[in-house]
Amino acid sequence: MLFQPAIIALLMAAAIAVLMLTAAAPFAVQVIRHWDIHSGAERQLDFERRTYLFSTLLTFVFVIQLAALLLFVFNADRLSAMFVGAMCAVGTLNVNDFGFPALISQIVVFFLAAMWLAINHVDTRAPDYPLVKIKYGLLILLLPVMALSFWLELQYFLGLKANVITSCCGSLFSGDAKTIAGEASGMEPKPALFLFYGALVLAIVSALWHSKKGIRRSGYLLAGTSAAAFVAAIIGVLSFISLYIYEHPHHHCPFCILKPEYDYQGYWLYLPLFVATAAGLGAGAMQPFARVASLCQIIPRASARLAGLAAGGYFLFALVATYFILASNLILIEH
C-alpha cells in the first residue's frame, strides 16, 4: 500500500461511515420490529426521536460520499506520477483490478443514499410516517453495499505498489481495446452524438412531463431515462466531449477534464449531471409508495419538484457540453 495522506483520509472516511451505519443497524432492526405510530408509550416516543438521528446520519454519509468521490478521482490523478505508464487517473485506477469497481461502487452508494434520502424526505412529511419500516429495511440493505464499497477501496489501495506497469489512458481508451471503457470511447462520434443528445432530450422531456403531471408512470419513466441519460452522458464524455475539450482526436480520458490544465471544466459537466441524476432517481424511488393514503398528496408534489431539478440539471449539462463542443477548435464531424 502507498502510505499517502489522501489514501489514509479516504479509507478513514469510508471506515467511519460503515462503522456508524453498523452501530445504527441494531436500532433500525428494533424500529422495524416494534414501531407502532399509534402508541404513546415511551418506547415509541424514543423510536421517533431516533429517526432524527438516522436522517442526520444518512445526510452526513451522503455528503461525505460526494466529497470522497471527488477526492478519490482527484487523488488517482495525482498518483499517476507513481506508476510507469500511467498518465492520469485512468492509469492509476487500472493498476489493479479493484480500481474501477471501487470507483463505480462509490458512485452507486452515492445514488442509493440519494434515493434513500428522497424516500425519507416524503415519509417525514406524512403525519403517520407510513414508510418507516420500509425505510429502515432499505437502510439495512444499504449497509452491505457500503461495506462492499469500502472493501473494494481497501483492496484497491492495498494493491497499489508504485512502479507497476499500467496502461495509460492513451492505450486503454484507444479504439481497439476490449474493455468496456474502450468500447465506449471507440464509438464513432456521430452515433455517440445522437445517443447523447437523444438520451438527454428524453430525460429532460420526461422530467418536464413528470414535473407537470406528477403521476406514477411518469415518475418511473423519469428514473429510467435518468439512469439512461447518466450512462449516455458518460459515453458522450468518453467518445467526443473530452476530445473537444482536449482538442485532440485520441484523448478520451473522462478525468483529465477535471484538472487545472483544462480549467476544471469537468466540474461544470459532472456537477449538474450528478445532481440531475440523483434527483431523477430520487423521484423514481418514491413512486412505489405514491398510493399510500397519507402520501398521495405529498409524493406527487415532492417528486415534481425533484423532476424540475432534474430537468434543470440535464439542461444545464447539455448546454455546457454543447458550449464546449462549439467553442472547441477541433472538428470531428464534417458539416
Partner 1 sequence: MNVWLEKQRHLIDFTLASLARRKTKNIGLLLAYTVLVFVLASLALFTQALRSEASFVLAGSPEVILQRMVAGRHDLIPPGYIEKIGRIRGVQKQEGRLWGYYYDPVVNANYTFMARPADEVATGSIMVGATLARARGLAAGNVISFRSYSGKLFAFKVAAVLSPDSELLSADLVLLSEADFRAFFEYPAGHYTDIALSVANPQEVRKVAEKLSASLPDSRPILREEVLRTYQSVFDWREGIMLTVLAGAILAFAILSWEKASGLSAEEKREIGILKAIGWETSDVIRMKMWEGLLISLTAFLLGFIAAYVHVFYFGAAVFEPVLKGWAVLYPRFALVPTVDGLQIATLFFFTVFPYTAAVLVPIWRAAITDPDSVMRA
Partner 2 sequence: MIELSQIKKAFNQGQPNEYWALNGIDLRLEAGKVTAFRGPSGSGKTTLLTLVGCLSRPTSGRVRFKGQDISGLPERFLTEIRRQSFGFIFQQFNLIKGLTAIENVILPGFPSGRPRAELMAAAEQILEQLKLSHRRMAKVEWLSGGEQQRVAIARALINNPEVIIADEPTANLDTALSREFMAILEGFTADGKTVLLTSHDPLVVESNAVHRVIGMRDGCLVDA
CA dihedral 290, 115, 276, 268 (to 10 degrees): 170
Q: How far is the CB of 154 from partner 1 (least distance, A)?
A: 16
- CA-to-CA separations, 179 to 171, 203, 257, in angstroms, rounded: 11, 27, 21
Contacts 24+ apart (CB under 8 A), 246-249: 246/330, 247/328, 247/329, 247/330, 248/330, 249/330, 249/332
DSSP secondary structure of 212-246 = HH--HHHHHHHHHHHHHHHHHHHHHIIIIIHHHHH
Name which of 298, 106, 121, 310 is nearest 224 in CA terms: 310
Distance (Å, whole) CA 148 – CA 154: 10
Contact yes or no for 284/304 (Cβ under 8 A): no
User: Among partner 1, partner 2, none, what binds residue 133 when CB lies within 5 to 8 Å by partner kind?
Assistant: none
Q: Which stretch binds partner 1 (CB under 8 A): 8-16, 127-135, 182-190, 218-226?
A: 8-16
Enter the C-alpha cell of residue 105. Answer: 461502487
Binding mask 60-89 for partner 1 (x = CB under 8 A): x---x--xx-xx--xx--x--xx-x-----
**How many beta carbons lie within 10 A of that of residue 96, not counting itself?**
18
Q: How far is the CB of 20 from partner 1 (least distance, A)?
A: 7
Between 49 and 335, CB nearer to partner 2: 49
Amino acid found at 105 = S
Contact yes or no for 212/220 (Cβ under 8 A): no
Q: Is 8 in the site for partner 1 (CB under 8 A)?
A: yes
Q: Which stretch binds partner 1 (CB under 8 A): 48-56, 224-232, 249-257, 274-282?
A: 48-56
* Binds partner 2 (CB under 8 A): choice among 124, 174, 322, 328: 124
- How many residues touch partner 2 under the rule CB under 8 A: the total is 13
Q: Is 296 in the site for partner 1 (CB under 8 A)?
A: no
Between 41 and 333, CB nearer to partner 2: 41
Binding mask 243-282 for partner 1 (x = CB under 8 A): -----------------x----------------------
Q: Is 41 in the site for partner 2 (CB under 8 A)?
A: yes
- Report the interface residues with partner 2, using CB under 8 A: 37-38, 40-43, 45, 48-49, 124, 127-129
- Report the interface residues with partner 1, using CB under 8 A: 2-6, 8-10, 12-13, 16, 20, 49, 52-53, 55-57, 60, 64, 67-68, 70-71, 74-75, 78, 81-82, 84, 162-163, 260
